[in-house]
Every structure is written in C-alpha cells, then in structure tokens.
C-alpha cells in the first residue's frame, strides 16, 4: 500500500559545518545515520517496523513507531533531532523541541520554522573552550596537588605504620614488664607496712600538734570530747564521711580524733596547706597531657605520686632510717609500676587511634587522608556550617542558638563508578515529625580545600560541597583543545 504523496514539506537541508564542506542530508539526521536516509528508494524505519516513500521523510507526519521518519520535525513523540552546532558540540534533542520557540541547539537549526534563534555556536564554543581551559588549568593544578597529597599520604601512612609497629612493640614490652613490676611492688609493700606498724614517733610531730590544736578549737564546750553537734557547728566539715568516722559513740577523744578524723578534716580546716600547692606545681607538663587524654577517653589515670628525690612529703611523720628506707623502696616500686601502666595506656591509645585512621578508606590512593582531623567552615546568611571530614557535620544558627548535628561519618556515597565523589553523614539530630538529619558532602576538584556550598534541599537533608584537590582527576593530554567538528 502506498498512499498518496504527502502534502507537506520535503526538506533536504544544507548544513554548513565549515564553510568549505557542504553535506546534504535530511534535516535532523546525524552524519552517522546518513546512510539510512537514501533518497533513491523507500525509507525503512530504523527499527524495521515499516517502510514509507522517501518523500514521507520529514513531511511533518509520523509514520514510524520509532519516530525515525521525522528526525527534523516535531511530528513523532519519540523522534530525535540532531544538530551539528558547528563551532560547538553536536547535540541530539527531542524532536518535540523542534519549532517550539525555544532555542535548544546553539546553531538554531531546531527552530528552522519559527526562526526564533540565532546561531550562537561560535560564541558558545569560544566561551566553553575558554571555560574548559580555565577548568583544565584548575584541574591540572588540582591534580598536581593531588599527586603531592597522594605522595604525602603514602609517606604519612608509612610513618604511621612504623609508629604503629613501634607502639605495638612497646606495648608487648610493657605488658611483659608489668608482671615483674607488680610482684616487686607487692614485695616491697609488705615490709613497708610492717615497718610502719612498728614505728612510733617519739614526740608529737608538727602534724600531731596541728591535730591537737584543731581538736581544741572544735571541742566547743572544752569537755575533751568532740561531739556530732560540735562538728556540725562547722559547716565546712559537713559530710557523711566525717560523721561516719565519728563512730557510733557519737563523740571522740583527742587521740581517736587524730587517728580517725584528722586526715579527713585537715584539708577542710586549712585549705591552703603548703605541700599540696607544691605538688600541683611539680609537673605541669604531665598534668596537661593527662587532661588532654581525659578528653579523648573516659579512662582515668591514677594520680601521680611524687617522684623520688624531690623530698619526702611534708605530712609524712619522721621515721627512723630503716623504716624510711623501706618506705622509699615501696614508693619506688609503686612509682615504677604506675609509670609502666601509664606508658602502656598511652601506647594503647596511640595504637587505637592509628588503627582507626589506618583503617579508614581515604580513597584509592589515600588522597583524602589529609582531610582527617581537620575541619572546614562555611557561613551562609543564616547558618555557620562546619564539616570535619570522616567525623561529623554541624550547623549553628548565626543569630544564636545551639549547635545542631547534621550527621556523623557514615560512608562514601558517590554514584556507581564514582564512589569517592560524595560522602554520607548520618544520624544527626532528629527532626520534627521526621527522620534524623543527614548530610551528603559532594566533593569537587579544586586547587584549594574549602566548603563551597551548603543547602537543605529537603527538610533535614543537607548537601555540602567541598572543593579539594583530592577530587581532581588526571586529564587526558590535549583535553582542552578537543572539539568536535
């Protein structure tokens, strides 16, 4: 069946790619498809579903299921229009965009009927080439930086691994030492205890005098017995501990006071006791270190006893030489054990931190590792966003108010084939009638590292954009010069 000839349009089109080359082909047909549009015979729909007179190609009436008979008109719902876009890049646009008054092709050929568009390909091409040059320059710069990052990451990794090895060796060694040190401590403390028991000071020490003085002061009615009521007259001594020490009798004489209560009340009555001050000043560096450690983990380091050779503690009574020697020996053993335990803990903390960091996936070449343990901020009109990569994302309103967690490190979350293009942070502060906040951080190539954008595309779902050289890829040689046609 061959119906009557079409009433509309037959459109061989002259397309000028460059002024020198002239190719005649039906409108909207890509050069690669040209062999299928042979005017010498009937046109076979490209899907093979049918065949029509060639004059029916581009006659503004859809005959083929696949729309291939109307590449240059909007007649077919699923047709594609090819534009050459000389000076720029060729495109294939839906044929339904042909002659709709909107410029889809920079050469304007999609609007051949409406005439709505000028050919802007050269200008667009120039702009795009310039932009491509710029972005290629950026990418090259970024890629060079990235290579350095990769190198540094490798070095840092090696360094960390060797540090880890050293720490692990130290741990083994410390663990081996702990047993003997504990035994030595036990061994030294037995004789010390016995010696202390035996020992009686010949005359009241300075401390005993202080106790007597305090007893006299506290014994309000001067009857030689200190009662609960008398104690309660001193609010600074308030406390269950002290009351318990008073014992069931409810009152104590001066001797019992010295034995049982003086140790408890001494500091409260005389808060600026000089030995304490001295002790605090002794090792400031170590103190600071401990505080830092405390922030890191919940473990408490036992108080450090004063070290040997720095004078006996003031509160110690005077002992005879032999006793004192035993006490000193025990103290040394305790100190040695404590020092070893401390070293062990430090080593374990170090191992844990290193293992965590070394276990992180910092990209195929470790290029993202430099982001670890750093944070970046971005200020928008309303909020201050803070990203600590591989840790957390937070948001703080600028006009005051509490910080909100937008999520904790979850995983790499780039699309397939570009896993390292994005990161996911999850389990942030919960939303009203909604889920917990979560953030996607998309990574984009740049010469520096900076947060570039922060959005909340949907309630409680955030999107940050981090520029980093680590996200740069190597460009193929001559990339920026490449241009079709």
Partner 1 sequence: MAAALGRWPLWLTLCLGASLAVDRGNFKSCEQSGFCRRQRRIQPGNSPYQALLESLQLGPDVATIQLVNEVTQVPLLLELWGLTGNVTRLRIQELSPLRPRYRVPDVLLGDPPAERLEVTGRDEGTLELSLGPGGHRLLVTERPFRLDLLRQRELLCSVNARGLLVFEHQRRRRDSDPPKDPPGEEGAAQEGPEDGAGSTQSDKPAEPPAEPEEEPGAWEETFKTHTDSKPYGPTSVGLDFSLPGFEHVYGIPEHAESLRLRPTEGGDPYRLYNLDVFQYEVFTPMALYGSVPLLLAHRPRLSLGIFWLNAAETWVDIGSNTAGKTLFGKLLDYMQGGGETPQTEVRWMSESGVIDVFLLLGPQPADVTAQYGRLTGTQALPPLFSLGYHQSRWNYQDEADVEAVERGFEEHELPLDVLWLDIEHADGKRYFTWDPAKFPNPRGMLERLAARKRRMVSIVDPHIKVDGGYRVHTELRARDLYVKTKDGNDYEGWCWPGSSAYPDFTNPEMREWWANMFAFDQYEGSTEALYTWNDMNEPSVFSGPEVTMHKDARHFGGWEHRELHNIYGLYVHKATAEGLIRRSGGRLRPFVLSRAFFAGSQRYGAVWTGDNTADWEHLRISIPMCLSFGLAGLAFCGADVGGFFQNPGPELQVRWYQAGAFQPFFRAHAHLDTARREPWLLSPEHLALVRAALRRRYALLPTWYTAFYHCHRQGIPVMRPLWMEFPDDPHTFAMDDQYLLDRVLLVHPVTEPGARGVNVYLPGEGEVWYNDETHEQHRAPQTLYVPVTLSTIPVFQRGGTVIPRQDRPRRSTEAMKGDPFTLYVALSPQGTAQGDLYVDDGISFDYATKNAFLHRHFHFANGTLTSSSADPRGSMSSPAWLERVVILGVGRPESALLTTHGERGLGGFGVLGWVFGILGWVLRGVLGF
- 18 or 381, CB closer to partner 1? 381
27 part of the interface to partner 1, by CB under 8 A: no
The backbone torsions φ and ψ at residue 231, rounded to the nearest 5 degrees and listed phi first, read: -65, -40
Smallest distance, partner 1 to C-beta of residue 229, A: 52
Query: Which residue has tokens 């110690």?
Result: 316
For residue 457, the minimal CB distance to partner 1 (Å) is 6
With binding defined as CB under 8 A, does residue 461 bind partner 1? yes
Q: Which is nearer to partner 1, 63 or 467 (CB)?
A: 63
Beta carbons of 384 and 398 less than 8 angstroms apart: yes
When the beta carbons of 63 and 426 are compared against partner 1, the nearer one is 63
List, as own/partner pairs, every contact residues 273-277 make where C-beta atoms lie below 8 angstroms and the sequence separation is at least 24, other chains included: 274/314, 275/313, 275/314, 275/315
Q: Give min distance, CB of 157 to partner 1, in A.
A: 39
63 or 107: whose CB is closer to partner 1?
63
* From 202-210, 305-313, 350-358, 456-464, span contacting partner 1 (CB under 8 A): 456-464
- Using CB under 8 A, count the residues that bind partner 1: 32
Candidate ranges 92-100, 360-368, 369-377, 396-404; the one touching partner 1 (CB under 8 A): 92-100
398 binds partner 1 (CB under 8 A): no
Tell me which residues in 30-69 interact with partner 1 (CB under 8 A).
60-63, 65
What does the DSSP assignment read for 141-173?
HHHHHHHHHHHHHHHHHHHHHHHHHHHHHHHHH
Kindly state the tokens that stand for 372. 């670890």
CB 236 within 8 A of CB 244: no
| Among residues 23, 34, 102, 322, the one that binds partner 1 under rule CB under 8 A | 102
Tokens standing for residue 155:
């070095």
Q: Cα–Cα distance between 40 and 24 in angstroms, integer?
A: 14
Q: Is 7 in the site for partner 1 (CB under 8 A)?
A: yes
If DSSP codes are grouped into helix, strand and coil, which group holds residue 483? coil
Q: Give whichever of 225 and 424 is closer to partner 1, judged by the CB atom.
A: 424
Binding mask 103-142 for partner 1 (x = CB under 8 A): ----------------------------------------
CB of 106 to partner 1, least distance (A): 14
Q: Which is nearer to partner 1, 143 or 385 (CB)?
A: 385
Instruction: Map the footprint of partner 1 across residues 356-385, applying CB under 8 A.
Output: 381
> Measured from the CB atom, is 72 or 469 closer to partner 1?
72
Nearer to partner 1 by C-beta: 8 or 228? Answer: 8
Return the residue of 456, 479, 480, 485 that touches partner 1, per CB under 8 A.
456
* Residue 413 · residue 442 · CB < 8 Å: no
Residue 195's SS3 state is helix
The verdict on 402 binding partner 1 (CB under 8 A) reads no
**Angle in degrees, 0-180, between the axes of helices 284-296 and 274-282, rounded to the nearest 10:** 70
Residue of 77, 180, 201, 249 interacting with partner 1 (CB under 8 A): 77
Distance in Å, CB of 59 to partner 1, minimum: 9
CB 323 within 8 A of CB 193: no
**Does position 168 bind partner 1 by CB under 8 A?**
no
Cβ 153 to partner 1 shortest distance, Å: 34
Candidates 312-320, 359-367, 403-411, 449-457: pick the segment binding partner 1 (CB under 8 A).
449-457
Q: Which two tokens stand for residue 479?
A: 């990339």
Q: Does 97 bind partner 1 (CB under 8 A)?
A: yes
Between the CA of residue 222 and those of 217, 230, 242, 256, 268, what are the distances in Å?
Answer: 9, 10, 20, 16, 21
Per-residue x/- mask for partner 1, residues 423 to 442, rule CB under 8 A?
A: --------xxxx--------
Out of 8, 21, 137, 233, name the contact with partner 1 by CB under 8 A. Answer: 8
Reading phi first (left if > 0) and then psi (alpha if -120 to 50, else beta), residue 417 is in left
Between 461 and 480, name the residue whose CB sits nearer to partner 1: 461
Instruction: Report d(CA 423, CA 392) in Å as an integer.
Output: 11
**C-beta of 62 vs 195, nearer to partner 1:** 62
Distances (CA, A) of 470 to 26, 145, 157, 357, 424: 47, 8, 16, 17, 17
Nearer to partner 1 (CB atom), residue 220 or residue 434: 434
- 8 A C-beta contact, residue 110 and residue 103: yes
Separation CA 84–CA 105 (nearest Å): 8
State the CB neighbour count (10 A cutoff) for residue 49: 12
Alpha helical stretches, state H, 271-423: 274-282, 284-296, 321-359
Q: Which is nearer to partner 1, 3 or 179 (CB)?
A: 3
- Residue 390 DSSP class: T
Task: List interacting residues with partner 1 (CB under 8 A).
Answer: 1, 3-4, 6-8, 60-63, 65, 74-75, 77, 94, 96-97, 100-102, 381, 431-434, 455-461
């Amino acid at each position: 069946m061959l119906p009557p000839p079409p009433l509309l349009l037959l459109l061989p089109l002259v397309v000028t790619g460059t002024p020198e080359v002239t190719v005649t082909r039906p409108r909207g047909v890509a050069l690669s498809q040209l062999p299928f549009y042979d005017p010498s015979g009937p046109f076979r729909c490209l899907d093979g579903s049918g065949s029509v007179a060639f004059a029916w190609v581009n006659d503004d009436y859809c005959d083929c299921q696949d729309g291939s008979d109307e590449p240059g008109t909007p007649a077919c719902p699923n047709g594609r229009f090819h534009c050459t876009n000389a000076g720029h890049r060729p495109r294939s646009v839906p044929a339904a965009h042909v002659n709709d008054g909107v410029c889809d092709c920079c050469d304007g050929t999609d609007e051949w009927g409406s005439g709505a568009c000028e050919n802007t390909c050269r200008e667009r091409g120039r702009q795009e080439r310039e932009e491509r040059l710029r972005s290629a320059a950026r990418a090259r710069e970024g890629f060079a930086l990235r290579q350095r990052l990769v190198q540094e990451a490798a070095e840092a990794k090696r360094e960390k691994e060797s540090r880890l090895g050293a720490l692990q060796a130290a741990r083994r060694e410390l663990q081996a030492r702990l047993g003997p040190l504990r035994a030595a401590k036990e061994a030294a403390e037995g004789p010390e205890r016995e010696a202390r028991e035996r020992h009686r000071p010949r005359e009241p020490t300075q401390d005993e005098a202080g106790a007597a003085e305090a007893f006299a002061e506290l014994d309000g009615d001067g009857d030689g017995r200190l009662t609960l009521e008398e104690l309660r007259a001193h609010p600074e001594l308030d406390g269950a501990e002290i009351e318990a020490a008073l014992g069931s009798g409810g009152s104590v004489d001066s001797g019992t006071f010295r034995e049982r209560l003086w140790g408890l009340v001494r500091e409260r009555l005389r808060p600026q006791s000089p030995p304490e001050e001295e002790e605090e000043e002794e090792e400031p560096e170590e103190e600071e270190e401990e505080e830092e450690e405390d922030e890191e983990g919940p473990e408490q380091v036992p108080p450090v006893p004063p070290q040997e050779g720095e004078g006996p503690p003031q509160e110690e009574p005077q002992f005879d030489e032999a006793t004192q020697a035993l006490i000193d020996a025990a103290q040394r053993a305790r100190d040695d054990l404590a020092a070893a335990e401390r070293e062990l803990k430090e080593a374990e903390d170090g191992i844990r931190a290193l293992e965590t960091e070394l276990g992180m996936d910092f990209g195929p070449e470790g290029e993202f590792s430099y982001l670890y343990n750093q944070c970046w901020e971005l200020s928008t009109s309303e909020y201050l966003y803070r990203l600590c990569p591989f840790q957390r994302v937070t948001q703080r309103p600028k006009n005051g108010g509490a910080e909100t967690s937008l999520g904790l490190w979850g995983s790499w979350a780039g699309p397939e084939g570009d896993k390292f293009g994005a990161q996911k942070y999850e389990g942030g502060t919960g939303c009203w009638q909604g889920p917990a906040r979560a953030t996607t951080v998309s990574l984009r190539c740049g010469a520096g590292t900076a947060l570039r954008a922060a959005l909340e595309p949907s309630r409680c779902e955030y999107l940050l954009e981090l520029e980093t050289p680590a996200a740069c890829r190597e460009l193929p040689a001559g990339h920026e010069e490449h241009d079709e046609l």
